[in-house]
């Protein structure tokens, strides 16, 4: 059975380091990131800008030209969420968010096993400019992922 661990980062640097460590521990395509697209312009490589030129999902998100063109790169995209504005999403959750744009981030998180009330909370954190990182993995690996998020400064780390 799989579970999802989610946490909030207030800094891009912390999120980048956590993702790097998660990869070092064997997490690859399980990592998802959602952040507000602050001032992103069409033609800007936002994945590269946000995450040091490194693909969050180890090759599935190649950084494509993001901004006004949602979902150009597989697994990553810029989405316009009603009431929230433009966001960047990378990893498996990106597909859920693009399919649930009218339900916002909370709707996508609910589809990923996060209770609706907590999904709304995390959506509010993105609205404030924070970055949420989530890992969906087997029960036997999820505590390792939670530990990495906490070690790199994630707040509100929860497992569902």
Could you tell me the CA-to-CA distances from 85 to 25, 36, 40, 139 in Å, in that order? 34, 8, 11, 34
pLDDT of residue 76: 54
Per the model's pLDDT, the better-predicted residue between 56 and 157 turns out to be 157
Q: Are 112 and 93 in contact (CB under 8 A)?
A: yes
Q: Are 125 and 10 in contact (CB under 8 A)?
A: no
Share the mean pLDDT of the chain.
75
From CA 155, how far away is CA 5, in angstroms rounded? 12
pLDDT of residue 82: 66
Each residue's pLDDT tens digit, 42-52: 334 444 444 44
pLDDT band of residue 78 (cuts 50, 70, 90) is low
- Is the pLDDT reported for residue 157 higher than 90? yes
Each residue's pLDDT tens digit, 79-115: 667 667 778 888 888 776 765 555 678 888 887 889 9
Each residue's pLDDT tens digit, 17-44: 998 999 899 998 889 888 888 655 333 4
Could you tell me the CA-to-CA distances from 125 to 26, 27, 33, 36, 100 in Å, in that order? 27, 24, 13, 10, 18
Where in the sequence is the domain holding 136, given as residue range(s)?
Answer: 2-159
Domains held by the chain: number:
1
Concatenating the DSSP letter of every residue in 115-134 gives -HHHHHHHHHHHHTT-EEEE
Each residue's pLDDT tens digit, 113-142: 899 999 999 999 999 999 999 999 999 999
What integer is the mean pLDDT of 137-150?
A: 95
């Amino acid at each position: 059975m799989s579970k999802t661990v989610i946490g909030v980062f207030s800094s891009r640097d912390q999120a980048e380091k956590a993702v790097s460590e998660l990869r070092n521990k064997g997490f690859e395509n399980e990592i998802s990131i959602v952040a507000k697209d602050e001032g992103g312009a069409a033609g800007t490589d936002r994945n590269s800008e946000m995450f040091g030129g490194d693909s969050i999902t180890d090759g599935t998100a190649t950084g494509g030209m993001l901004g006004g063109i949602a979902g150009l790169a597989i697994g990553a995209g810029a989405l316009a969420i009603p009431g929230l504005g433009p966001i960047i999403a990378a990893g498996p959750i990106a597909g859920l968010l693009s399919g649930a744009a009218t339900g916002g981030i909370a709707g996508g998180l609910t589809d990923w096993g996060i209770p609706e009330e907590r999904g709304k909370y995390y959506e509010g954190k993105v609205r404030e400019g924070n970055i949420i990182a989530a890992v969906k993995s087997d029960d036997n690996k999820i505590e390792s992922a939670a530990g990495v998020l906490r070690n790199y400064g994630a707040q509100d780390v929860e497992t569902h």
